Amino acid sequence: MTKHIDIVIVGAGIIGLSAAYAILETIDNLDYTIHIIAEYGPHDRSNPDLIKYKRYTSPWAGAHFRPFPSLTDQDYYESKLTRLTYEKFKLLSLIKDSSIKLVKGIEFFERDDIDVKNKGYYEDIDQFKVLDERDFPKHLSKEDNSLIKINSGTSYLTWVLNAPHYLQYLYKILDKNDKVRFIQRKLSCLNEVNEIIDNYPIIINSSGKGLQYFTGTSSSNYDDQSYPIRGQTLLIDPPQTSTTDYYLNRTITHQSKDGLWTFIIPRPLNGGIILGGTKQIKDEDESVKQSDTQQLISRGKELFPQLMKVNVTTGEKYFDIKRINVGFRPARIGGFNNSIEYKDVKNKKLNHVLNNYGAGGMGYELSYGAGVVISDNLKKLIEFDNLNSHL
């Protein structure tokens, strides 16, 4: 006889929702309930467009997939998770309501020494190509004081998605499944789950920053290896011209030598175009910074002048900014953590924990792949428990 298994996912961001989605898809021979406990998320019907909460990162993402050369084993491991997602998203792109769209990814670099032979970069990516000068934009100024300089580039098949829409898409699938329950609540620590669900359920720690098991005496209840990377982007409405179609079909990223980023990400299902973006390490400022907006406009003007509208009164060109997004990527020294923490459930009355946090700027890229790992780890944990119960 198999017993009923309670699984608690703490967090309803892209990482927690994708874990639930992957578990439902891959574990069907067991009797279980997934309880998703989160303060913020698509289950909060008072705010279905999700955009009120700055500390809930997922709705603020671009979002696109941009592979990059692996510098460490952890980078390479994470690149493998992005490839699992890539294959899954090719299938989901056939479903319009997912909002996922396959497009051409184009990257330009001021540097000329990008490691295009790095496995973490090109491996398992379709249509990967190194660009040459003929492929660089023709309209760029060659002046010394220009902000955008290009010396190398790559292109490949990638995906873009409409972040708030994809969260709703996953939510709809989960919410209609009898095995899933959403609970809106803020926890002070993971151990508090036991006040809500009996019998020490397995906990999946998808809290973005890594909520601690016990309430600490320190000022933070989160993993001290975690830190935020602030991002500010502009959501723009492009002009209705024939050249705009070109930009709705690709995501273009430029990196300058001094670490500045300029990118566009079209948001499918008429979501406009994201013009980004900043990466400010440990900056916790939730307000819109005028200086960020100005530098995004200045670089955007050089790289994407075709996406500017013309003021009929003055003849001036401008980006039609519909909203300014500010979000905080949950980064972590050592990278994404999805370790298994075995605890002695019988004697000490503790929960087994599957970590699943610290995705930084890669939450969507990792999402499905991380969910598959959680599902595999869950199977291991259930076997481990069964073995121990016979001792």
Ligand X SMILES: *[C@@H]1O[C@H](CO)[C@@H](O)[C@H](O)[C@H]1NC(C)=O
Cβ(209)–Cβ(57) below 8 Å: no
Q: Which partner from the list ligand FAD, ligand X, none does 14 bind, CB cut-off 5 to 8 Å by kind?
A: ligand FAD
Question: Could you tell me the sign of the dihedral formed by the alpha carbons of 319, 324, 325, 326, in that order?
Answer: positive
Strand intervals (E) in the chain:
5-10, 32-38, 101-109, 129-130, 152-160, 180-184, 202-205, 226-236, 250-255, 261-266, 273-276, 280-281, 309-310, 317-318, 321-332, 340-341, 353-355
Place of tokens 């990638």: 158
Size of the site for ligand X (CB under 6 A): 23
Contacting residue, 80, 83, 90, 104, with ligand X by CB under 6 A: 104
Contact region with ligand FAD (CB under 6 A), list: 135-143, 291-299, 309-317, 357-365: 357-365
* Largest CA-CA distance found in the chain, in angstroms, rounded: 82
What is the Cα–Cα distance from 128 to 286, expressed in whole angstroms?
37
Q: Which partner from the list ligand X, ligand FAD, none does 46 bind, CB cut-off 5 to 8 Å by kind?
A: none
Rank residues 171 and 336 by Cβ distance to ligand X and give the closer one.
336
Determine, following the binding rule CB under 6 A, whether residue 377 of this chain makes contact with ligand X: no
Determine, following the binding rule CB under 6 A, whether residue 319 of this chain makes contact with ligand X: no
Place of tokens 């990967």: 128
Contacting residue, 18, 98, 154, 212, with ligand X by CB under 6 A: 212
Determine, following the binding rule CB under 6 A, whether residue 13 of this chain makes contact with ligand FAD: yes
180-184 and 32-38 beta bridge pairing: parallel
Contact region with ligand X (CB under 6 A), list: 180-188, 205-213, 233-241, 278-286: 205-213
Contacting residue, 135, 341, 376, 385, with ligand X by CB under 6 A: 341
Determine, following the binding rule CB under 6 A, whether residue 254 of this chain makes contact with ligand FAD: no
Rank residues 120 and 360 by Cβ distance to ligand FAD and give the closer one.
360
| Structure token pair of residue 385 | 């428990």
Rank residues 173 and 250 by Cβ distance to ligand X and give the closer one.
250
Intra-chain end-to-end CA distance of the chain, in Å: 18
Size of the site for ligand FAD (CB under 6 A): 41
Rank residues 98 and 149 by Cβ distance to ligand FAD and give the closer one.
98
Cβ(232)–Cβ(296) below 8 Å: yes
Determine, following the binding rule CB under 6 A, whether residue 217 of this chain makes contact with ligand X: no
340 phi/psi in degrees, rounded to 5? -95, 130
Contacting residue, 39, 44, 110, 123, with ligand FAD by CB under 6 A: 39
What is the Cα–Cα distance from 151 to 224, expressed in whole angstroms?
39
Q: What angle do CA 307, 63, 102 make, to 5 degrees?
A: 80
What is the Cα–Cα distance from 260 to 38, expressed in whole angstroms?
34
Contacting residue, 2, 220, 311, 389, with ligand X by CB under 6 A: 311
Residues that bind ligand X (CB under 6 A): 74, 102-104, 190, 205, 210, 212-213, 222-223, 249, 311, 313-314, 318, 334-335, 337, 339, 341, 353, 355
Residues that bind ligand FAD (CB under 6 A): 10-16, 38-41, 56-58, 60-64, 186-187, 206-208, 211, 231, 233, 276-277, 325, 327, 329-330, 357, 359-365
